[in-house]
Structure 1
Amino acid sequence: MTRAGKTIDLNSDLGESFGAWRMGDDEALLAVVSSANIACGFHAGDPDIMRRTVALAARHGVAIGAHVSLPDLQGFGRREMAVSPDEAYAMTLYQVGALHGFAQAAGTRLRHVKPHGALYNMAARDRRLAEAIAHAVRDFDPSLRLFGLAGSALVEAGRAAGLAVAAEAFADRRYRADGSLQPRREADAVIAESDEAIAQAMAMVREGRVRAVDGEIVELRADSLCVHGDGAHAVAFARQLRAALQAADIAVAAPHAMEDAA
């Protein structure tokens, strides 16, 4: 539920370090968010980072999800590739299975799956890719929730496959009039000012709408807000956003916790 006085999920993309290279302050973000999308080695992360991030998320009581991607370490999964639905199915299943192993070894479990970057945006508009990803999630574990862009083909495919879904919105990304995200390659696609991003997030949560780059008002119903973990001010922004939500009497909890409390 996403109206004032209700509850919304805060998710962040984590576990994106690799080898000796470090990205973001995952532990600090895990004290703020309610869901963690953990990289599975295709766009970022490695086995040791996956293991550590799962353990950190479990320690903080944060819902664990597989952040599945195109196989593109150099491009951080943000470059589109011509993949078939069969390939999308296989790479999704492979990555979910890998993170599941670490979760099981840590005595916890996966709660959701969220595609990353280019794969996320491709599946938002390509029904066949969206169906392939949804079917891979369902075939692995039909109790997993599928995260996708609010109003997109991925959310529709998840529902059609019988999965629980979380319609996602982005506090710090600009939107087009069709409800899609403005591509990162375009100038000003990311909102740099915290106050502006928080105002956009609050409008999405309380009013169910967002102002597109052309000024048009887009109706948008969100179950989860994404806060990116890779910026210099990511932790400070996440804390500000959570404080703003709580000041507006909007609680923060993972989707499965909302259902358990209902």
Structure 2
Amino acid sequence: MSAILDSLPTLAKEPGVTINGKRTRVPARVALGQVTPNNLGTLKKLNWVLTTPIQVLFPVNYSDKFYSNLLEHNLEPYCKLIYYQDLPVGNLVSRLEPLTTETESLSEAKPSTPSTTTTTTVPTRPHVQLYIMTLGILSPYRRQGLATKLLHSVLQAAERSHEPIPPKPTFPSQTDPHSNQPPSSKKSKTSASSAPPAKSDKDQEEEEEAAKKLKKKQENQLREWQLQAKSEIVDSVYVHVWKGNPEAKAFWEKHGFEMSGEIKDYYRKIEPRDAWVLSRKITPKPE
């Protein structure tokens, strides 16, 4: 047990500065970060449940597959760690799910934007729902708005998923720096004599390097567009809340979530074993 406790972040010192011998409080440094292979172990420690009455965050254990699935590219906007004074103190992780029959019918009822052309370079994007699996802050850092900051980040990302994808980028054809076409035999001697001088080796290398950088930049832009074109549109967000935690239920309701159901015996190792289901619709921001 002590090894697990030692592996968790230590309590950060209260941020402040000393002016004329007097300690003055200053705002803490708070930042959000993506879940990556390098900090997946940190996320596991934050979610770890001790076998003693001391609980870190959640009353359940999660498998290795649970964590590895979080590294999918399309989940980057919906899985976050939060840092307080550079220490990881909480997280929010989600997954994307197909729409249920109810949410799918709502999606189909939405008016579609009429197309002005017969063809488009932007493929049809799937509509999904977002399931928030965990949202937690270590107890010494609670009641400072950190959970709200995490939730707002994810909800804003869900709203942005409704933004239209720009057309596929196109680039002008590039001249091959290695091509040195000889002057045409039909050219007069006068035009041949006025041809520009041959490039030096240094100029040739610089031109080739510039062409490589431009090509890489264009490839990155195209790759980014392809990822955007495949991204899902989030129509709704839902979460399970342990029935023994009415304070958590109030938190979600404060942020626009509404009761949409109850699941009996959702939890196996804690009492009560039931869970509330709270959900919120996602609509695009008005232009």
Q: Same fold (TM over 0.5)?
A: no
Which structure has more relative contact order (CA 8 Å, sep 6+)? It is 1
TM-score (norm 1): 0.29
TM-score (norm 2): 0.27
Greater Cα radius of gyration, structure 1 or 2 = 2
